[in-house]
Structure 1
């Protein structure tokens, strides 16, 4: 199974059908994977459980064919049923240690963090990687906390020797600011799935990331 962590690849893509210009989850996934995205997270907050299960079964097959890592947002049960590579949970979701009891030692568990205290606790709890953000204001997630800006990102780079992905309002036009502060992997949602040409946007984002020097 593909075990790819942030830092081993540059772009961490998430699905979101509300922002995808009418594209289905399958269409989003096929476009992202064909563009070389190696970590794909299924995040469909408003889908029914049965729909999520079938969509995740499909994405599991597509990511295996592409040699990409497949992460399910929040739903540990669905991740287990489709044999996903792992899950990503938030501060108010199932705790990392409990998710680990269900998933076992080999699956990836990512945890969103918004402060140094949460980052340290995530590492202590056994998270395989942490989400760092939101870096900028974002409207792609409901009930999101205020942007943490660059200060928390810079703290993580200096103090946390653990895989992490920067997330929150990251776009082609501002990603270079994030990379220059030490992020090697960035999560993008609307910038990718909401682009008229997803593959072209992936390449443009990669080009922007290389401008850090």
Structure 2
């Protein structure tokens, strides 16, 4: 079984939006503001740079008990001793990823529609990322927005933990949680904010308030 994890406020990094502050500093401020899980995502970076970035984030996050998930790259996650991997529909099959990762690392999978769900084996997956809830510019291949209603429909089909992703900001956070998501995954709502810590705090407060 994987280590426990909390999807409440899930930060997905973006290399362009973290460039001015630096990746580690951005993540440090976000975690101080309440981020509960971090995904390293940089589709343009080569393997060596990704491993270096992942190791730096592991050094920051592990003492705080915050898991680091690596987007797509099982090899990078293993090399850096990260806590898990998040896969897209065109990435390695969950069964193959699990065989390489072992039983203790977290495995997430993007599932945005009933059709993708039907084609996915969730038996070895620990959580799903569902969306995009709204159109997003940070992931050009994310597909059409499904809206809060689409997320609620997926929630009725999926029994494992679910995080909403894609264009989520402060205005719709409560709606996403009330639609059944266990948390929100954000990029720009934190990484592009003028005040990282404050942005994370406000989002976390919305998540907590929506559960009351």
TM-score w.r.t. the length of structure 1 is 0.91
Residue 22 of structure 2: aligned partner: 24
- Report the counterpart of residue 207 of structure 1 in structure 2: 205
**1:4 paired to 2:4:** yes
The DSSP-based 3-state class of the residue aligned with 1:19 is coil
After superposition, residues 15-164 of structure 1 pair within 5 angstroms as 15-20=13-18, 22-164=20-162
- Is the 8 Å Cα contact of residues 21 and 194 (structure 1) preserved in structure 2? no
How far apart, in 1, do the equivalents of 2:122 and 2:95 lie? 10
CA distance in 1, matches of 2:4, 2:192: 25
For 1:148 and 1:123, how far apart are their aligned partners in 2?
A: 21
Q: Which runs of 5+ in 1 are unaligned?
A: none
Aligned to 1:192: 190
Task: Quote the Cα distance in structure 2 between the aligned partners of 1:165 and 1:36.
Answer: 16
User: Which residue number in structure 1 is paired with residue 169 of structure 2?
Assistant: 171
CA RMSD across the alignment: 1.8
Determine the C-alpha separation between the residues in 2 that align with 1:59 and 1:164. Answer: 24
- Give the Cα–Cα distance (whole angstroms) in 2 for the partners of residues 184 and 131 of structure 1: 10
Normalising by the residue count of structure 2, what TM-score does the alignment of the two structures yield? Answer: 0.91
Q: Which moved more, 1:69-78 or 1:33-42?
A: 33-42
CA distance in 1, matches of 2:64, 2:82: 14
Report the Cα offset of residue 145 of structure 1. 0.6
Task: Using the TM superposition, give the Cα deviation of residue 128 of structure 1 relative to its aligned residue in structure 2, in angstroms.
Answer: 1.0
User: Which moved further from structure 2: 111-120 or 189-198?
Assistant: 111-120
TM-fit CA distance, 1:4: 3.5
2:77–2:85 Cα contact (<8 Å) kept? yes
Post-superposition CA distance 1:130-186 (Å, at most 9, x none)? 111001000011222111222331123223221111000000122122122122300
**Structure 1 SS opposite 2:160:** coil
Q: Deviations 1:167-211 (Å, cap 9, x if unpaired)?
A: 000001221221221223000001101111111001111223344
Which 10-residue stretch deviates more, 63-72 or 144-153? 144-153
Query: 1:22, CA displacement in angstroms?
Result: 1.0
Count matched residues.
210
